[in-house]
Amino acid sequence: MSMPRLAALLLPLAACGDPLADEVLTSGGTWRVSIAEAPALGDEELRLRVEGAADAEPVSDLELLVVASMPGMSHGGSADQAEMEEPGVYAAQVDLGMPGTWAIDGELTDGGVSEEFTLYAEVEG
């Protein structure tokens, strides 16, 4: 495929919302998820912060499934069940083995409510 055609395919994606958001609302609008601290290259732990979208209070005892992958590349992608470290802070096992932009896909579950999110972590080389 020629470069101009490739660029034309990618442009609509880039224009759709903020593609590099490090803080997002979950799919049903119940929670706000953000990167708790910028991860470093090779980090095996990624900390996410989860707050109620309405009250900005830390949310405890959620189930959180996290998958880190690099968009357009074949590495990453194994899911981990995150552990709550303190109210509103969850740590997931990931292997951020390459500098660049990582997509963090997650699913939060609280009883019968399950919502998804995607945010992005910038890993410095």
Nearer to Cu ion, 64 or 96 (CB): 96
CB of 9 to Cu ion, least distance (A): 20
Residues near Cu ion, by CB under 5 A: 70, 73, 98
What lies within 8 Å, CB to CB, of 100 at 6+ separation is: 70, 122, 123, 125
CB of 6 to Cu ion, least distance (A): 18
What lies within 8 Å, CB to CB, of 23 at 6+ separation is: 32, 33, 34, 35, 119
CB of 103 to Cu ion, least distance (A): 11
Nearer to Cu ion, 21 or 98 (CB): 98
Report CA 65 to chain centroid distance, whole Å.
Answer: 10
Nearer to Cu ion, 37 or 75 (CB): 75
Q: Beta strand pairing status for 83-86 and 89-93?
A: antiparallel
